[in-house]
A and B are shown apart, each in its own frame.
Chain A
């Protein structure tokens, strides 16, 4: 009844980890500064700037409203420019980044907004520069919450990779669709779902544990 080989499963797990880790890393590198910028430039931020906030907020909303499967296909020309190919695991990473970076920016924004105004006021009373307020006040206070945000982003990415199969990205989600769903093979679906559940559980508990350790509450 099992029509998929162990090698294929391992290969899929590897592909998922590959796509998720690289797109998470680059997505965070892009999303974190954008999230900070959103918090800094908003009306009651450290350096309010209506234009920057309006434009950035708008762009993020546009990307956040596109369904991933549409995004995947829509940005094919862009993908070709970046990685030189439009099909395969590496090609899937480009749309995954475009999908996750604005999401991470939003998550970072809400994490940083959790830090009370009184902490900012403290920074200002100590004559800290904008960079110092971000570096020594905002980020350390939001660190636990940022870890949870990245956990959420990681799990969101795992879900998105299932659709990356459309452009030959592979991964466990794709395994479930092509070998399970399309061939009416329930056991493959169940197997892949179990693997996904385990991965998500592990990531969430690591995230929770790290956040708890960092929060000191």
Chain B
């Protein structure tokens, strides 16, 4: 649906050249909810704006629906842009217009007749749960309601792609969840491909099926959300994952473990699906004599799967703990020794 091929972008800032994007390649397939996460200044916003031509790459190519944007004439580009709409962090509503007129605006620009506009606006306002606010002005709405208006406006032209620019970053946690639910519904019920950029890992965890992590203008890690969350490779990715999935042993337990003089090894086990974890622990206790103790456990929901992280201390001689490690690894479970 969207393909970035070796995209670079340079900006001139007070005479100095700044590289905002550095050879970025990504592919977003139809039906994806693709999240791009990164700290501010990572270049994710610039990348997003290339999809609808608000930015153009200095090098590389952007393909949307199989067409390279740089090669299109104005008419074809305009045609492609009509199938892409954007949801903004700060909603970008016209304060001088009612909710109805704000949502209607894209159709007015397309010179759609009034009766159709009226019908569509009410359909969309109903979909986002704001039909009773049609004649309100944006200043009378809460942040979450404003974003619903922004979303209704983005949906009114029946787009195939929705670009979300930090769509929940200006909202409180509870409202964020309700907006994410709405975006999920849009993806499922309307079959709209969503590309969302964010700095909040919760957004990725809750909403996306695929993720790309960006830093200093480059994609440092990308893949299915379950894979990236389950086994982050890059330090920055680990940092992001840690904001939603805690895998650190609490300080008090670390202290206790350090004080004990018994011979032991600490392992961190990661697996998907809760049941498998229980049977694995059962098998370990049946097979080995070693005493073990779960010192930390965390189960997180990711899409349909659950990711379990267990930190377990095994007491016993090194040869046996090594055997246990091998046994667990043979079961296809990710196991890593934790050094205090």
Q: Do A and B come from one complex?
A: yes
Q: Which residues of A contact B (CB under 8 A)?
A: 118-119, 121-122, 124-128, 132, 136-137, 140-141, 143-144, 214-217
A122 and B88 contact, CB distance less than 8 A: yes
User: Closest chain B residue to A214 by CB distance?
Assistant: B96
A215 and B96 contact, CB distance less than 8 A: yes
Q: How far, in whole Å, are A144 and B105 apart by their CA atoms in the complex? A: 20
Q: How far, in whole Å, are A144 and B82 apart by their CA atoms in the complex? A: 31
Q: Which of B82, B90, B95 contacts A215 (CB 8 A)?
A: B95
B82 cross-chain contacts in A, Cβ below 8 A: 127
Ranked 7 nearest A-B pairs via Cβ: A216-B137, A122-B92, A125-B86, A127-B81, A118-B92, A140-B96, A126-B106
B94 and A119 contact, CB distance less than 8 A: yes
A118 cross-chain contacts in B, Cβ below 8 A: 88, 90, 92
A119 and B96 contact, CB distance less than 8 A: no
Q: Which of B81, B85, B97, B138 contacts A140 (CB 8 A)?
A: B97
B139 and A217 contact, CB distance less than 8 A: yes
B139 cross-chain contacts in A, Cβ below 8 A: 216-217
Contact with A along B75-112 (1 / 0, CB 8 A): 00010011001101010101111000000011011000
B86 cross-chain contacts in A, Cβ below 8 A: 122, 125
CB<8 Å pairs between A and B, sample of 18: A118-B92, A119-B92, A121-B54, A122-B86, A125-B52, A125-B54, A125-B85, A125-B86, A126-B85, A127-B82, A141-B94, A141-B96, A143-B96, A214-B96, A216-B95, A216-B138, A216-B139, A217-B139
Further contacts, 20 of them, CB under 8 A, given A121-B92, A215-B95, A216-B96: A118-B88, A118-B90, A118-B92, A119-B92, A121-B88, A122-B88, A122-B92, A125-B54, A125-B85, A126-B85, A126-B105, A127-B82, A127-B109, A140-B96, A141-B94, A143-B96, A144-B96, A214-B96, A216-B139, A217-B95
Q: How far, in whole Å, are A141 and B96 apart by their CA atoms in the complex? A: 6
A125 cross-chain contacts in B, Cβ below 8 A: 52, 54, 85-86
Interface residues of chain A: helix, strand, loop or mixed (majority): helix
A128 cross-chain contacts in B, Cβ below 8 A: 109
Q: Which among A118, A126, A215 has the highest number of chain B CB atoms within 10 Å?
A: A126
Q: Closest CB of chain A to B247's CB: distance in Å?
A: 39
A122 cross-chain contacts in B, Cβ below 8 A: 86, 88, 92
Q: How far, in whole Å, are A30 and B105 apart by their CA atoms in the complex? A: 29
Interface residue ranges of B51-86 to A (CB < 8 Å): 52, 54, 78, 81-82, 85-86
B106 and A141 contact, CB distance less than 8 A: no
Q: Closest CB of chain B to A213's CB: distance in Å?
A: 11
Q: How far, in whole Å, are A125 and B78 apart by their CA atoms in the complex? A: 10
User: Closest chain B residue to A129 by CB distance?
Assistant: B109
Q: How far, in whole Å, are A124 and B85 apart by their CA atoms in the complex? A: 11
Contact with A along B115-148 (1 / 0, CB 8 A): 0000000000000000000000111000000000
